[in-house]
Amino acid sequence: MSGGGRSWIALPGTALRGAATVPGDKSISHRAVMLGALADGRSRIDGFLEGEDTRATAAIFARLGVRIETPTPSTRIVHGVGVDGLRPTAEVLDCGNAGTGMRLLAGLLAGQSFDSVLVGDASLSKRPMRRVIDPLARMGASIDAQDGGLPPLRIHGGGALRGIDFAGEVASAQVKSAVLLAGLYAEGETSVREPHPTRDYTERMLSAFGVEIEYAPGFARLRGGQRLRAHDVAVPADFSSAAFFLVAASIVPGSELRLRAVGLNPRRTGLLAALRAMGADIREENAATRAGEAVADLVVRHAPLHGIEVPEALVPDMIDEFPALMAAAACAQGATVIRGAAELRVKESDRLAAMSAGLQALGIEVEESPDGAVVQGGALRGGRIDSLGDHRIAMAFAAAAQRAGGEVRIDDVDNVATSFPGFDALAREAGFGLRAG
Ligand code: S3P
């Protein structure tokens, strides 16, 4: 059954050739708007992801009194109001589908002198917020959630926050970032220790905006009461969006595709290591640095893939790439074993369940476990998939379908616009067989 929204018909197209530039990084785009808003002065963001998630974050800051100009779709000029310059609003703040938006904002808004209410769409309304509420409460914040720690979140401002030394149980960049952003408003020092290092964009960007912050993989510490200096941000292309092209070009014979200037922060590129271990042929060219982040063109050629046991240590570095990895695993020879990835059950959908059900519908053997799955590579046949309104599930099946024996109908694809507006057009240009269903 479809959950509503539009559908795609995906089927083998041609070999993937040429070059493609995927949109800007979602994680960096959210943070650039947030820090730009809190800074003193005007920050320009180039390569901003013009997706629904990041637009929701920008719209929230506009409601909080920040002037944000859009001279071109992928540019934002943020007129920062300073750490103490946000203005209260009586309206609820709608984060849409974005867990990053809601969790980071929970931390940032906990430090304000006013109350605010964060809401989200149906998917976000089912996602766990205790993981941010608990450490923020330890800092002195007062946040009410629905039963089970679900959104909407009512954040009561005006209280004094104090720094904490937080050792989280979940490896989560969103939780780390929420605590650090609240830490800007807290008395004394705030530190975060992670069970596994996660993406460090908040730390890097705070530093670029002039905040004194100490950080190393798995650790960050800052002192409250610091101000931010405006800073221009050039957002690299999103590795997570490139992932679907890396997989499709790997599995379609004759492909050779260049993905330009993709962000290669080591905490994001676990899929590169996993695909290479599976036999993928992916080269890095034109390496450069963009806004303090490593970027390179990724040149991917078709190669026969074989199954692997995905090292558990790689899981946090490829947390958003399991839909793409499972699509590759379905087209690989032998079994691919995933463990230690229970977090996938609380993403935009339960991604282990969504991918397992979808691959099984296409004739692939998948054995799901509480924290992973075993995918037996095989011959994909045509069939019908429900993306469960999850952008990455929809795009993963569009990639997998490039090796299917028949048409794959993918239902409920509207949410692709949250992270990758224009995916279908860019994919077709590269050679995908993909049309509106
Ligand atoms: C993100 C962190 C990750 C990731 C999400 C973006 C971020 O979430 O899955 O897509 O920008 O900080 P968790 O912190 O829940 O692992």
Pick from 134, 168, 176, 166: nearest CA to 153: 134
**Distance from the alpha carbon of residue 265 to the mean position of ligand 1, in angstroms:** 14
Tell me which residues are annotated as active site. Answer: 320
From residue 15, give the alpha-carbon distance in Å to each of 147, 254, 393: 50, 5, 22
Are the folds of 7-24+236-436 and 26-233 the same? Answer: yes
Chain-centroid distance of CA 52 in Å reads 13
Burial of 203-227, coded b for 16+ CB within 10 Å and e otherwise, reads bbbbbbbbbebebeebebbbbbebe
Q: Is 341 in the pocket of ligand 1 (CB under 6 A)?
A: no
Contact assessment for residue 283 and residue 334, using Cβ atoms and an 8 Å cutoff: no
In angstroms, the CA 436 to CA 228 distance is: 45
Query: Is the C-alpha dihedral spanning 108, 347, 307, 194 positive or negative?
Result: positive
CA-nearest residue, atom 5 of ligand 1: 100
**Distance from the alpha carbon of residue 177 to the mean position of ligand 1, in angstroms:** 10
CA dihedral 360, 363, 365, 368 (to 10 degrees): 0
Q: Is 269 in the pocket of ligand 1 (CB under 6 A)?
A: no
Query: Is the C-alpha dihedral spanning 273, 275, 281, 287 positive or negative?
Result: negative
Beta strand pairing call for 335-338 and 372-376:
antiparallel
CA-nearest residue, atom 4 of ligand 1: 320
Domain boundaries, the chain: 7-24+236-436, 26-233
**Distance from the alpha carbon of residue 405 to the mean position of ligand 1, in angstroms:** 34
CA-nearest residue, atom 15 of ligand 1: 172
For the domain made up of 7-24+236-436, the CATH class stated in words is: alpha beta
Q: Which CATH superfamily is domain 26-233 in?
A: Enolpyruvate transferase domain (3.65.10.10)
Contacts of 72 (CB under 8 A, 6+ apart): none
Q: What is the pLDDT of residue 1?
A: 39
Q: What is the pLDDT of residue 189?
A: 98
Minimum-distance ligand 1 atom for the alpha carbon of 31: 11
**Distance from the alpha carbon of residue 101 to the mean position of ligand 1, in angstroms:** 10
* Digitized pLDDT (tens) for each residue of the chain, 437 residues in all: 345 789 999 999 999 999 999 999 999 999 999 999 999 999 999 999 999 999 999 999 999 999 999 999 999 999 999 999 999 999 999 999 999 999 999 999 999 999 999 999 999 999 999 999 999 999 999 999 999 999 999 999 999 999 999 999 999 999 999 999 999 999 999 999 999 999 999 999 999 999 999 999 999 999 999 999 999 999 999 999 999 999 999 999 999 999 999 999 999 999 999 999 999 999 999 999 988 899 999 999 999 999 999 999 999 999 999 999 999 999 999 999 999 999 999 999 999 999 999 999 999 999 999 999 999 999 999 999 999 999 999 999 999 999 999 999 999 999 999 999 999 999 999 999 999 99
Q: What is the pLDDT of residue 2?
A: 43
Q: Is 34 in the pocket of ligand 1 (CB under 6 A)?
A: no
Q: At what angle do helices 351-361 and 391-400 cross, to 10 degrees?
A: 30
**Distance from the alpha carbon of residue 103 to the mean position of ligand 1, in angstroms:** 9
CA-nearest residue, atom 11 of ligand 1: 27
Beta strand pairing call for 142-146 and 383-386:
unpaired
Q: What is the pLDDT of residue 3?
A: 55
